[in-house]
Structure 1
Amino acid sequence: MMVIEGRQATESIKQWVYRTLRHAIMTGRFRPGHPLTINGLAEMLDVSAMPVREALQFLVADGAIELLDNRRVRVPLIDPDRFDEILSARIALETVAAERALAHIDFIRLAHLQHLDRLVDEAYGRGDIEGGIAANFDFHRCLYEARSSAVLLPLIESLWLRLGPFMRLAAENLHDHYLVDRHAEALEAIRTQDAAALKAAIAADIQDGAGDIGRAQFLETAAQEFAATHRS
């Protein structure tokens, strides 16, 4: 079941629906290829169809979902080329954002980063995949926000949104591939003000998580398709 946060006092229903669905997609609530219906989402959120329809239009513009020929919408499938492009863009932008932020991280923000890292571990430890993904993004966002990121952070979040459905597949198999605690490496690099080590930790965090799992998933799918077409 999707965790639904309450509507903020300053939010319209349309804004709340958009924020809720955006968060759900970013944290892997819907898998790649998952169809979405206006009526189904309206019932889930207990709202009328109009704010859902408007939110879906914004999400199509964001690249988070795609409009099919029959006017239905779904979470996009990701092919290997698109996956590698998104992953490469994440690494490029997030290592720059981390390096820019490093000198601006004080002991208060460092303590908050440590707290968020614990939340990531606790969520995955109790099997809360969506909570773990959300806490992981919160960790990265807290790091990059140490220095104003009016351009970088929205670009980075747009990539998180596009990769979110695939992140669930990665998180479900995290312990098989994520063997080194890259957040711990990042935190140590922050303590020592080592920009090169911080950039390396962020790049490895992205590669060890979504990167390795994603490529393993594509290889498995290709092997299954090959086997299916060569059965005697």
Structure 2
Amino acid sequence: MDQPALDLAPALAPEPRLDGETLQQWVFRQLRRAVMTGRFPPGKAVTIRGLADALGVSSMPVREALRRLVAERALVLLDNRRVRVPEMTARRFEELVAARTLLESEAAARALPRADRDFLRRLDALNRASDAAVEADDTEAMIETNLAFHAALYGDRPDNVLLPLIESVWLQIGPFMRMALADLHRHYPVDRHAEALMALEAKDEAALRRAIEADIRDGIGHLMEKLG
């Protein structure tokens, strides 16, 4: 028997619309971010109507946003106007982790030429915010600050090719981030972001790649044991 659809209204916490942002763009941005930050729990279905009510909009922009997220393999469409996170196998998860490692280590290496003092200062501030979130055991802040650190490292440029590809992988792996954080202290004993910052400052590409690979492995790679 199908489980009742999950009420995501308390979890969505929609942000204000940006200047010039259409309603359709805003709805897509909110739902895409919700998937990426794990607000769609694995195995739980949600309804189009429930999401529309949570965002205070009609079903039409929600349906369009979900269609795009299904195309990105972030969600699957069920019957009765419901969606859920795709089922995850150990093999699929391993491939997603491998894709993260390959794409993100390359994107980090490409950041080296622009790693000036201001760039490093910004990353250091984001890392300190991430450390504070861990210290406070604030799951929401841990996820948000971690994504912010990585996005800032890889660069937010109009001509950036790698970041959209990386975000596509984040969409598929994001719903499992909360599961990974449940046992963070045991699997993440070293501050890999701090290692990455030191490598950036030293202009050491090999050390930077190792830090990013270790960050992904320690942060979420251990979930392969649970999915196996």
TM-score over 0.5 (shorter chain): yes
Q: Which residue number in structure 2 is paired with residue 97 of structure 1? A: 107
Q: Of residues 165, 175, 179 in structure 1, which corresponds to 2:185?
A: 175
Instruction: Provide the rounded CA distance (Å) in 2 between the counterparts of 1:55 and 1:44.
Output: 14
Q: Of residues 130, 146, 150 in structure 2, which corresponds to 1:120?
A: 130
Pairing 1:14–2:12 present = no
Shift of 1:196: 0.4
Structure 1 residues 125 and 201, CA gap change in structure 2 (3 angstroms)? same
Structure 1 residues 149 and 32, CA gap change in structure 2 (3 angstroms)? farther
Instruction: Provide the rounded CA distance (Å) in 1 between the counterparts of 2:98 and 2:127.
Output: 24
Shift of 1:72: 2.9
Q: Of residues 194, 203, 209 in structure 2, which corresponds to 1:184?
A: 194
| Contact kept in structure 1, 2:105 and 2:209, CA below 8 Å | yes
Pairing 1:155–2:165 present = yes
Q: Of residues 214, 217, 224 in structure 2, which corresponds to 1:215?
A: 224
- Structure 1 residues 14-163: aligned runs within 5 Å: 14-68=24-78, 72-145=82-155, 150-163=160-173
Deviations 1:65-97 (A, max 9, x none): 012356532111211000000000110111111
Structure 1 residues 149 and 34, CA gap change in structure 2 (3 angstroms)? farther
Q: Which residue number in structure 1 is paired with residue 204 of structure 2? A: 194
Instruction: Provide the rounded CA distance (Å) in 1 between the counterparts of 2:188 and 2:60.
Output: 42
| Contact kept in structure 1, 2:48 and 2:81, CA below 8 Å | no
Return the letter of the residue paired with 1:201.
Answer: A
Return the letter of the residue paired with 1:101.
Answer: A
Instruction: Provide the rounded CA distance (Å) in 1 between the counterparts of 2:67 and 2:36.
Output: 16
| Contact kept in structure 1, 2:40 and 2:84, CA below 8 Å | no
| Contact kept in structure 1, 2:107 and 2:162, CA below 8 Å | yes
Q: Which residue number in structure 2 is paired with residue 223 of structure 1? A: none
Instruction: Provide the rounded CA distance (Å) in 1 between the counterparts of 2:98 and 2:179.
Output: 19
Structure 1 residues 55 and 147, CA gap change in structure 2 (3 angstroms)? closer
Return the letter of the residue paired with 1:114.
Answer: D
Q: Which moved more, 1:187-196 or 1:3-12?
A: 3-12
| Contact kept in structure 2, 1:104 and 1:146, CA below 8 Å | no
Structure 1 residues 150 and 135, CA gap change in structure 2 (3 angstroms)? same
Q: Which residue number in structure 2 is paired with residue 229 of structure 1? A: none
How many residues are aligned here? Answer: 218
Shift of 1:216: 3.3
Return the letter of the residue paired with 1:51.
Answer: P
| Contact kept in structure 2, 1:42 and 1:48, CA below 8 Å | yes
Structure 1 residues 188 and 147, CA gap change in structure 2 (3 angstroms)? farther
Structure 1 residues 162 and 115, CA gap change in structure 2 (3 angstroms)? same
Instruction: Provide the rounded CA distance (Å) in 1 between the counterparts of 2:198 and 2:214.
Output: 14
| Contact kept in structure 2, 1:24 and 1:30, CA below 8 Å | yes
- More helix by proportion, 1 or 2? 1
Instruction: Provide the rounded CA distance (Å) in 1 between the counterparts of 2:22 and 2:157.
Output: 30
Please report the TM-score for the alignment, with normalisation by the length of structure 2. 0.90
Return the letter of the residue paired with 2:180.
Answer: A
